[in-house]
Amino acid sequence: MEYIKSIILSFCVASVFIGILYTITPDGNISKSVKYLLSLAFLITVIAAGKAGNMSVQLPKIEVSQSDTDKLFTENARLTYCEALRNSNINFSFVTVFTNKDENGDIKIIRVEIKTEESAEAVKEALGEISSEVEVIILNE
């Protein structure tokens, strides 16, 4: 709390002081240079106040389970397939990705189901290489 108080106080004092100097700065050739220097002094004052305080933030520790990681991988794969279909203007209702873990613990996509009115050839062409090693099942609407 003391940290925030010091930043606010230095900001207010610097604002008032710089504001007064701005108003008494004469117009003319030197005006731009003086105002630039005053702006720079203001920034340095605020940054120095921020660095002077010793603020430590304790972030909460987030536990991520293996099943959350698996779900994240599956959802990312689903979104990749959806994006590939949208980029090729393929209309679809849903995409479902089925995964399996191999003996090394790696997650593999084993099957993708896509509900669409488009032909299987058009869908596979739209998916390109991402459909080459995976069973793609087209469910017609």
- What pLDDT is recorded for position 123? 86
- What pLDDT is recorded for position 57? 54
Main-chain dihedrals φ then ψ at residue 91, nearest 5 degrees: -80, 135
Alpha-carbon span 105 to 100, nearest angstrom? 9
Angstrom CA distances, 101 to 71, 78, 97, 118, stand at 12, 17, 13, 31
How large is the greatest C-alpha to C-alpha distance in the chain, in angstroms? Answer: 78
Question: Helix, strand, or coil here: 75?
Answer: helix
Which sign, positive or negative, has the C-alpha torsion 120, 125, 131, 133? Answer: positive
Q: Quote the pTM value.
A: 0.52
pLDDT at 65 over 80: no
Alpha-carbon span 84 to 123, nearest angstrom? 9
- Give the residue-averaged pLDDT of 61-90: 83
